[in-house]
A and B are shown apart, each in its own frame.
Chain A
């Protein structure tokens, strides 16, 4: 499936209607990062706009940005979908080049979390889109040089993913496309979740990291993958109470007797910068794991977490993959639902 999802036909009437309705639409939506226009907004003018970034910070964007520096795949992928490609002037070292951009876009850092602030300033951008984490290494220098920086929280839920799309839409003057994208994603996610609604919940252990032997990490409440697992008809085990990325023990896993094990850290399914990838076959050899139902029934699967289980335009595809792995009999239906 291509990343360019089929959109509603863009007739003039639809555009005008959406522009006129957008302040009302957005005022009705809640959540972080949502552009909340002041009460006296001039309708149909997207700018100037006041956008909320990470941690309740606000950024006033006066004119439509034409020279955007975009960092991190989570942001670039959305900007790609919003057709902002031709306005992107630089990326970080790792982001995939958007389809509509020049293949030789300058890269301004990211390896080892080192960024080239001077190179960014030299490009004279009118907007830099980044994620939280770069404050000390980049944002502060840029703001000191007068460059507008929009720092966004990494979305940790389906709701946050949709708000992330809407915020980027507001910031780049593509609110109609963003609203359409967000609504479409929501519809797809709901459709796939409905497919899994009636299925028997499956006890699932989802592993994100096993680089320290005996102390693997899983996903917990407050992480996007945890929410997707529950939507896909899984009961994530072991139930570890501490945060979105808790560490668990082999004993806790054996005690929880998961029926399916999903590995987000499998060799061949992770990016080149992933630390400590494991061979799926090594899971069965862990002490005590011979009694785990998932091992006995050969239901240990690798997932392409970096591609599919990330907040972004492919989130419904990721959810469909999960449903297919957990309830094989529903795989086709789920895929079809994700494609609507």
Chain B
């Protein structure tokens, strides 16, 4: 690969390491990096920790949260990149085909029914169901990127209305509207390791798919006619990529609710700064998105500690101006994103 891409990957990896280091060391109790690593190693080996409280904070609270948040950021950024490529517009993000609305309906239904353990699976199922609806309706009206986007718009409107009704109804339930609102604002709920491992699995799958399908995805950006001339079945590739992106998005929102910004703006920043095809853009976006969301989440939980701000809100406040600053002017047109 070219020098600039290698440099980009190196920078991204460094950012990831720095973000993890910050996430493990910073908080109500600042833990030196060596001590944090020591606690994690001791816990993995099953040894008794020298300081149980510090070990509990690092291993039981910060580590799962960091692992989860990184996976969420990486999944959303990777899915966003793929969708921006196959839908041929920088305005696409993982939620544009209805995944967020579907997940929201699923999660709010679970909360309305009074159960918290079913929220993640319900969100996952909802995201997939809504995307499937978008795909089928989109195909029936034409099947091209614009048709999918239109269909996604409709499904988002419908699910948005359903979420509104569920929110109104939740004020009358035994838990009130607070858990529903917290989920909608985005941020990690204390997650179990199985859920986090599933998210990492989905991430691996997505990156692998990007590497295998990358060339075909790039062909789609040339337009249907040219893609066909190259022997690439545009419709099938589009459908496959949308399905994979939906899976990734579903895994992400089921872990952390509706976190915005990462899926929309990190891909734009990456593609503007490191012009490249899908095979490089997706993994780099995953690294950058994961690092960015992890850093944002660390800010959200430390800025006004012990008060924890909703991660999705902080992501929008910090991330949006940052990306606008990065991609102003020439960079956008030069990259033809």
A250-B61 contact given A211-B176, A242-B307, A275-B175, CB 8 Å threshold? yes
With A212-B182, A275-B176 given, is the CB distance from A254 to B57 under 8 Å?
A: yes
- Which stretch, A95-103, A186-194, A282-290, touches the partner chain B? A282-290
Residues of chain B within 8 A (CB-CB) of A255 are: 28-29, 53, 57
Confirm or deny: A339 has a beta carbon within 8 angstroms of a beta carbon on chain B: no
Instruction: Among A209, A211, A288, point to the contact of B60 (Cβ < 8 A).
Output: A288
How many residues in A have their beta carbons less than 8 Å from beta carbons of B? 28
What per-residue 1/0 map shows which CB atoms of A296-321 lie under 8 Å from chain B?
00000000000000000000000000
Across the interface, do A275 and B305 meet the contact criterion of CB distance under 8 Å? Answer: no
Q: A211-B178, A238-B306, A247-B308 are in contact. Are A291 and B189 (CB under 8 A)?
A: no
A215 an interface residue at 8 Å Cβ cutoff?
yes
Q: Taking chain B's interface residues, is the majority helix, strand, or loop, or is none over half, making it mixed?
A: loop
**Contacting residues, chain B, for A287 (C-beta < 8 A):** 56, 60-61, 64, 190
What A residues does B64 contact at CB under 8 A? 287
Taking CB atoms, residues of chain A closer than 8 Å to B178 are: 209, 211-212, 275-276
7 A-B residue pairs with Cβ-Cβ distance under 8 Å, sorted by A, are A240-B306, A246-B307, A248-B307, A249-B305, A249-B308, A255-B28, A286-B190
- B residues 99-126 touching A (CB-CB < 8 Å): 116
Interchain CB contact under 8 A, A251 and B55:
no
CA distance A209 to B176 in the complex (A): 12
Contacts of B174 in A (CB 8 A): 275-277
B27 interfacial contact with A, CB 8 Å? yes
Q: Which residues of A contact B (CB under 8 A)?
A: 209, 211-215, 238, 240, 242, 246-252, 254-255, 257, 275-277, 286-291
- Top 7 closest pairs, chain A to chain B, by CB: A252-B306, A275-B176, A288-B56, A288-B60, A248-B306, A287-B60, A291-B52
Is B62 in the interface zone, CB < 8 Å from A?
yes
Check B27–A211 contact: CB distance below 8 A: no
Q: Tell me, in angstroms, the Cα distance from A290 to B61 when the chains sit together.
A: 12
| A289–B190 CA distance with the chains assembled, in angstroms | 13
With A252-B306, A288-B57 known as contacts, the answer to whether A212 contacts B179 (CB < 8 A) is yes
A209 neighbours in B (Cβ, 8 Å): 178
Tell me the bound Cα distance from A63 to B42 in angstroms. 76
Q: Given A211-B178, A249-B301 in contact, is the A240-B56 Cβ separation under 8 Å? A: no
Query: A246 touching B116 by the CB < 8 A rule?
Result: no
List of B residues within 8 angstroms of A213 by Cβ = 116, 179, 189-190
Given contacts A240-B307, A249-B301, 16 further A-B contacts (CB under 8 A): A213-B116, A213-B179, A242-B307, A246-B306, A246-B307, A248-B306, A252-B305, A254-B56, A254-B57, A254-B61, A255-B29, A257-B53, A276-B174, A276-B179, A286-B190, A288-B56
B53 touches A291 (CB 8 A): yes
B175 to chain A, nearest CB (A): 5
Minimum C-beta distance from A205 to chain B (A): 11
> What total of A-B pairs shows CB separation below 8 Å?
88
For B57, what are the chain A residues with a Cβ–Cβ distance below 8 Å?
251, 254-255, 288
Interface pair B56/A249, CB less than 8 Å apart: no
Residues of chain B whose beta carbon lies under 8 Å from any beta carbon of chain A: 27-29, 52-53, 55-57, 60-62, 64, 116, 173-176, 178-179, 182, 188-190, 301, 304-308
Q: Could you tell me the distance between the alpha carbons of A252 and B52 in the complex, rounded to whole angstroms?
A: 15
Q: Would B28 and A291 count as touching, CB distance under 8 A?
A: no
B27: which A residues are within 8 A, CB to CB?
251
* Structural contact, A238 and B175, CB atoms closer than 8 A: no
Knowing A251-B29, A251-B61, A288-B57 touch, does A215 contact B308 (C-beta < 8 A)? yes
Measured CA separation A178–B64 after assembly (Å): 56
Bound form: Cα–Cα A297–B305 in Å: 27
Choice from B173, B188, B307 contacting A247 with Cβ under 8 Å: B307
Chain A contacts of B61 at CB under 8 A?
A: 250-251, 254, 287-288
Q: How many angstroms between the C-alpha atoms of A212 and B181 in the bound complex?
A: 9
A257 to B57, CA, bound (A): 11
B306:A251 contact, CB within 8 angstroms: yes
A250 to B305, CA, bound (A): 11
Q: Which residue of chain A lies nearest to B55 when distances are taken between CB atoms in the complex? A: A291
Q: Which residues of A contact B56 (CB under 8 A)?
A: 254, 287-291
Minimal Cβ-Cβ distance residue in A for B190: A214
Name the A residues within 8 Å of B189 (CB-CB).
213-214
A244 to chain B, nearest CB (A): 14
Distance from A321 Cβ to chain B, minimum over Cβ atoms (Å): 26
- Give, as a whole number of angstroms, the nearest-CB distance from A279 to chain B: 12
Closest approach, in angstroms, between the C-beta of A314 and any C-beta of chain B? 27
Contact A215:B29 (CB < 8 A) given known A276-B176, A287-B60, A288-B56? no
B58 to chain A, nearest CB (A): 9
Cα–Cα, bound, A291→B52 (Å): 6
Q: Which residues of A contact B29 (CB under 8 A)?
A: 251, 255
Point out which of A212, A215, A249 has the most chain B C-beta atoms below 10 A from its C-beta.
Answer: A212
CB distance from B220 to the nearest CB of A (A): 41
For B175, the chain A residues whose CB sits under 8 A away are: 211, 275-276
User: Are A247 and B60 CB-contacts (below 8 A) given A214-B189, A275-B174?
Assistant: no
Cα-based distance from A195 to B182 in the complex (angstroms): 43
B179 and A211 form a contact (CB under 8 A): yes
Q: How far is the CB of B45 from chain A (nearest CB, A)?
A: 18
Chain B residues whose CB sits within 8 angstroms of the CB of A212 once the complex forms:
178-179, 182
A153 to chain B, nearest CB (A): 24
Question: Are B28 and A251 closer than 8 Å at their CB atoms?
Answer: yes
How many angstroms between the C-alpha atoms of A249 and B297 in the bound complex? 14
Nearest CB of chain A from residue B174's CB, rounded to whole Å: 6
CB distance from B63 to the nearest CB of A (A): 10
Distance in angstroms between the alpha carbons of A277 and B174 in the assembled complex = 8
A286 to B175, CA, bound (A): 19
